[in-house]
Structure 1
Amino acid sequence: MPTLRIIPIALLAFSILFSSCGGGGKRKPKDEATKPAQKAAGIGRIHFFLETSASMGGYLKGATTFKDVVSEVVNKSNQIAPVSVYTITDKPQPYQGGVGPFVEGLATTPLANGKSSKLHTIFGQVGAKATGNDVAVLVSDCILSFPDADIKRDPEINRNNASSVLKNQINDQFASLSRKGISATVYAYNSAFNGTYYDYQNKKSQLNGEQRPFYIWVIGKQSLVADFDRQLLERLSERPAQQLSFGSGDGLKKYELFFGLNKKGDWRAERGNVTEIKFGRKAEPAEFAIGLDLAGLPAYAQAPDYLKENLVIKADNATLKLVNVQRRENVNTTKRMTDREQQLLARNSHVLTFKIDDLFDDEATVNVRMPVRFDTWYQTDWSTMDDRTEAGRRKKTFALVHLMNGVREAYQTGTNDFVNFTFKLEK
């Protein structure tokens, strides 16, 4: 017993000594962009890419939301994990000096002077950096287009072939990433645009403050992207107007069966299965709760209402229904819980409560599945197929619907699930 008392006292003394030797009241550097990043758990390095084709130039002239957002995102990313900066048109070019000079360069250096770029090639090169524990970030206007020479030969090639050739090039690129377990999140913003705009026929218009969309893509392993999204959004002062996450990989199979939380009726928890269920006229209908860690899913897929509507529950030889979905912070913990059950609750983000109405045999197998589904905000409000006039292009991106559908179809396959696990009910 004396040993048990000495250890915490020693640790406390060490903690006090360590904290007193740490900050020492030093003032924080004024320039956060040059502050060395503290490595976040799990994320190794962030590779930050700015597309610099000529079509991006108007975002960089004058006072624009684009410059504000990109400066903040690269700066706050550097607080999450170390950042390497690149510009990209046909291939990545490391930005000399890193984050601090890059932030200055957004205001002082003509960056967007490259030739037109092929988006599927850019996504491939950016995605190639999202290996191991690294995450890649791309800033682009996301305008799908054939090369200049093709447009000169056929001014309608972009409009006539965006839904086939260009969409399938994007699909093929993201299908390759999906097979490697790489997911993606996209943030959508609007910004004033001051400069030359190239429409789908490559004809020029001079815009002065017209609102144009731009997009920030985060690419990497699903758990790393989810962690990066959470940390970045907590830090941003300029939130995206829209957001969409494309998950990858198999559905979540891990779950925890609580043995007391939300329990009704007479039954036992045994190796993740509900066993020894008592039925009868005097028996209270059995209810049980399962914990899931859904923190890695897109934000909309974590909403309790979304889960209630989209979880597919199949049970052979049983009548079973989902009666409640709760976020962990909304679970009633006023009733006494064992330390073990508190630990189970702490490591899960959601609690699903089920009710067993009947069991027709001695045993039943239950499958809980939630197919991948994605928001479709981009289909009308953010996409246009004729950007030659202000009315046709204002706050819209040419052929965005085909780009995003290409990505969506790469992830939303018949075998791709957000959740997919199985357990048993036994009398």
Structure 2
Amino acid sequence: MTSSFRLLPALALGLLLLPGCYSRKDIKEEAGTETPPEVPPTEVPGAVAPKESTAAEVAPAAAGSGPLAQVNVFLEVSGSMEGFMPKTGADASNTRFQQHVAQFLSEVNRSSAARKTYFRIKEKPYRDSYQQLSQTVRSGIQQPASSTNIPTVLDTLVSGYYAPNTVNVLISDFIYSPKNAGAIPYISTDVTDALNRTQRQDLAVSVYGYSSDFRGTYYPALNASVKKITGCCDTDIPYYFWVIGPADAVRRFDAALLEKQPAQQAHFGVGYPTPASSLLSRFQNVGSWYYGEKDASKRAAGASYHTVAVSKVSAKEPVEFVVGLDLKTLPGLYRDVKYLKPNLQLQAQDTDAKITDVFAANDQTKNSSGAENQYTHFVKVRVTKLGKAARPLQLTLNNQRPAWIGQWTTKNDSNINQAGAKTFALSSLLDGVEAVTSGEQNKAPIFTIPLTLQPAD
């Protein structure tokens, strides 16, 4: 996104610092598009939804089940995006962005959501058909916008297109250009204020990061030394999908359409069900222990167990047990062993129990006749000291910001060919998102598995 801060005259700059540089009414009053009239917020308990998702036309599915009622896709078409969508040349080559986004739009169009709407974001969103937006992606931006403004766009999506069972997908390079270097510390505040203006209690945002070859002019966020880089770029350039909406709708959309392709991920305010889990007494176990549940030997196949009864244990005769986890319903971020190893923690009392390994299922475990074939991941725990009574253990996956965000962030993108695939102030943008979504859902762990460690009877 090239910034309107550096392209608009002084008067427009003053207006830009207000809740939006274009009104919410403007968004819906496009040439040839019939839209509902603006309704004062005091008369609407929720969001002002687009015409396609009004109650008279579609009955939303119950939260957590069935297809989504509405999916709105917004594609930025400012000048900074031309390098991702260059006009088709004589060699008819295209970028990875074009291939990826065209495929994504097709998948949305074929999805089971009741309504799908598509928008180009220039100085304001303009309604497109699926065919029109797909053609823009494939053939290149014909009339690029001079500027867009990230906080204003976010405010618009949350204020005007937020509704139950609805998601808004914003596709952009998310390059936010403050008016001067002195405004950089307020980037996160600008994003927070934009998302928080309507105070959506269940707001969630999933961020998916990709990179693509880029052929065109690159506009650095800060133009003090370099206003633009022509013939760019020798390095890939990042772009992002932000999925914005109620937490349950975001979770279901992510699972249905965005978990199919590899991407960098970050999730804010999204909650997930506790995954299935069990102790595995016949898988890599060491020492003298057994399931501590009453009548465990008589329980049906497929039952899960969470109590470790230890017959004897010492430094010379340790006990090791494995907990199987079925993480297939979680996003790829939380299934990645690189994320799991530093963020899975074991909380214990009166014992030195500790995690010694975290690993994913392999062909051997998947094809095994044992209970381990039911699980996607495994956590090995070692014990050499035990208290005199039963004590609780908690296996917890903490909710930490993934490392890639810092790795993809730069404070100066005027030398982007040398810096590599990075985005100006990305961390600050996501600080702003986190501040809005850091309620109980975001503070809590991704999941907690309760276990019990006790002496054998």
TM range (shorter): 0.5 to 0.7
Structure 2 counterpart SS, 1:165: helix
The corresponding residue for 1:223 is: 251
Residues 233-276 of structure 1: per-residue CA shift (max 9 Å, x gap): 1xxxxx66xx2322435676454324644255333243854154
Contact 2:353/2:381 (8 A) holds in 1 = yes
The corresponding residue for 2:103 is: 72
> Which residues of structure 1 form unaligned runs of 5+?
1-40, 152-156, 234-238
TM norm structure 1:
0.68
- Tell me, yes or no, if structure 1 residue 317 matches structure 2 residue 350: yes
Which aligned pairs between 1:196-235 and structure 2 lie closer than 5 A?
197=219, 200-201=222-223, 205=228, 207-210=230-233, 213-219=237-243, 221=247, 223-228=251-256, 231-233=259-261
The corresponding residue for 2:170 is: 138
Structure 1 counterpart SS, 2:99: helix
Letter in 2 for 1:139: I
1:268–1:205 CA distance, 2 compared to 1 (3 A)? closer
Contact 2:361/2:377 (8 A) holds in 1 = yes
Contact 2:410/2:423 (8 A) holds in 1 = yes
The corresponding residue for 1:354 is: 381
Structure 2 counterpart SS, 1:367: strand
- Tell me, yes or no, if structure 1 residue 169 matches structure 2 residue 182: no
The corresponding residue for 2:291 is: 268
Structure 1 counterpart SS, 2:352: strand
2:400 aligned to which of 363, 373, 389: 373
Structure 2 counterpart SS, 1:359: coil
2:391 aligned to which of 357, 364, 378: 364
1:401–1:245 CA distance, 2 compared to 1 (3 A)? closer
The corresponding residue for 1:26 is: none
Contact 1:135/1:224 (8 A) holds in 2 = no
Contact 1:317/1:363 (8 A) holds in 2 = no
1:125–1:393 CA distance, 2 compared to 1 (3 A)? farther
1:417–1:225 CA distance, 2 compared to 1 (3 A)? farther
Residues 257-306 of structure 1: per-residue CA shift (max 9 Å, x gap): 2464425533324385415432279x975444333333354535423354
**How many Å apart are 1:139 and its aligned residue?**
1.4
Aligned residues: 359
Paired with 1:253 and 1:421, the residues of 2 have a C-alpha distance of 8
- Tell me, yes or no, if structure 1 residue 244 matches structure 2 residue 265: yes
Paired with 2:71 and 2:396, the residues of 1 have a C-alpha distance of 33
Structure 2 counterpart SS, 1:267: strand
1:385 aligned to which of 409, 412, 417: 412
TM norm structure 2:
0.64
Paired with 2:452 and 2:417, the residues of 1 have a C-alpha distance of 58
RMSD: 4.0
Structure 1 counterpart SS, 2:365: coil
**How many Å apart are 1:109 and its aligned residue?**
7.3
> Which residues of structure 2 form unaligned runs of 5+?
1-64, 89-93, 294-303
- Tell me, yes or no, if structure 1 residue 400 matches structure 2 residue 421: no
Contact 2:397/2:447 (8 A) holds in 1 = yes
1:192 aligned to which of 214, 219, 232: 214
Contact 1:171/1:410 (8 A) holds in 2 = yes
| Structure that is richer in helix per residue | 1
Paired with 1:386 and 1:218, the residues of 2 have a C-alpha distance of 21
**How many Å apart are 1:137 and its aligned residue?**
2.1
Paired with 2:365 and 2:281, the residues of 1 have a C-alpha distance of 12
**How many Å apart are 1:315 and its aligned residue?**
0.8
1:312–1:395 CA distance, 2 compared to 1 (3 A)? closer
Contact 1:51/1:140 (8 A) holds in 2 = yes
Letter in 1 for 2:376: S
Structure 2 counterpart SS, 1:332: helix
Contact 1:189/1:213 (8 A) holds in 2 = yes
The corresponding residue for 1:256 is: 277
1:394–1:165 CA distance, 2 compared to 1 (3 A)? same
